[in-house]
């Protein structure tokens, strides 16, 4: 096993077989994992109620239900050109809910995350 300190990658020399090549490709493949990559949506039932553990979310049921209402308004085109401001202490799930809303809305809806210092009145 060789470890390249320059690139922080490891490679294993295996026999020249099909299985060996597949394993080597798997080790050399680089994946990018974001902080909220496990979140796939808001985790709401069809009636809008938050499920206890769904779509990578645990807890924050009231906030997810409120975010679901906003998502529905955007999908119905009743909230065009408006912004949503999340406020709260650090670590309460603001970014996670925002990312889940972006997942629910899909790629065709512009989603621009910003921090409070970027807001001008």
Distance CA 43, CA 9 (A): 36
CA 23 and chain centroid, separation:
28
List, for residues 38-94, the tens digit of each pLDDT value.
Answer: 677 888 888 988 888 777 677 788 988 999 999 999 999 898 888 888 888 998 888
Please indicate whether residue 21 or residue 55 has the higher confidence score (pLDDT). Answer: 55
Rounded to 5°, the CA angle 54-109-41 comes to: 5
Least confidently predicted of 6-10, 27-31, 105-109 = 6-10
Single pTM value for the model: 0.63
Distances (CA, A) of 33 to 24, 30, 37, 39: 20, 10, 6, 12
């Amino acid at each position: 096993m060789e470890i390249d300190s320059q690139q922080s990658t490891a490679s294993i020399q295996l026999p020249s077989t099909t299985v060996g090549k597949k394993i080597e490709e798997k080790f050399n493949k680089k994946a990018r994992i974001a902080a909220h990559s496990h979140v796939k949506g808001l985790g709401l039932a069809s009636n809008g109620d938050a499920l206890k553990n769904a779509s990578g979310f645990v807890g924050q049921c009231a906030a997810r239900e409120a975010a679901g209402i906003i998502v529905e308004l955007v999908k119905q085109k009743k909230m065009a050109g408006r912004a949503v401001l999340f406020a709260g202490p650090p670590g309460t799930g603001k970014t996670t809910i925002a990312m889940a809303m972006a997942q629910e809305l899909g790629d065709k809806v512009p989603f621009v995350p910003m921090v409070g210092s970027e807001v001008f009145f």
